[in-house]
Structure 1
Amino acid sequence: MTQAIDDNKFLAAQAKIEELKGHQVIIVTTNVKHLSLFVDAREWQSFD
């Protein structure tokens, strides 16, 4: 579980850096609950 949490922190940080550069970032995931606290994260099923 710890590895997954660390991976999520890294992913959110990278996405935030890109947002600060002016890019639109959406993380498509099954873990919206935690990632959406930091960046725009959406369920992967919502993308067809």
Structure 2
Amino acid sequence: MIAISKIRKNQPITDNELYLVSVEDLQKLGIHEKTAYRDLKDDIKTLWQVY
């Protein structure tokens, strides 16, 4: 959801654009730092399996 929120309203979505999600982004939502690192690591593994 954080990556989606970084897309500008009229911006086309392409494979050429990167949308970075940081631990700090997750902490702003109230997620503890350790949990944020764990979640990002798990999400990266999932993305690689799907891709």
TM-score (norm 2): 0.37
- The structure having more radius of gyration, on CA atoms, is 2
Q: Flag the structure with more relative contact order, 1 or 2, with Cα contacts below 8 A and sequence separation at least 6.
A: 1
